[in-house]
Amino acid sequence: MTNFMTEQYVKFTSRLASLLKREEGQTLVEYALLLVLIAIVVIAAVTLVGKKANNVFCEIGGTL
């Protein structure tokens, strides 16, 4: 019985180790984090530039 338990433990730990060594999931998470960071920067830039552009257009419209 002890031999069976040992074999099962070894199989489980080897499977777990192979799952932890896989890098596909890590790469996907890294790309997702980069995408979120880029999206935040773009939203902030559009918000800041949008307000300034709106002011410029209002000023031009008032002048006309």
- Tell me the per-residue pLDDT of 8-51, one tens digit each, with 9 for 90 and over: 778 877 776 776 676 666 677 888 899 999 999 988 888 888 88
> b/e per residue, 25-64, with b = 16+ CB within 10 A?
eeeeeeeeeeeeeeeeeeeeeeeeeeeeeeeeeeeeeeee
Tell which wins on pLDDT, 59 or 19.
Answer: 59
Q: Sketch the domain layout of the chain as residue ranges.
A: 23-64
CA distance 42 to 57: 21
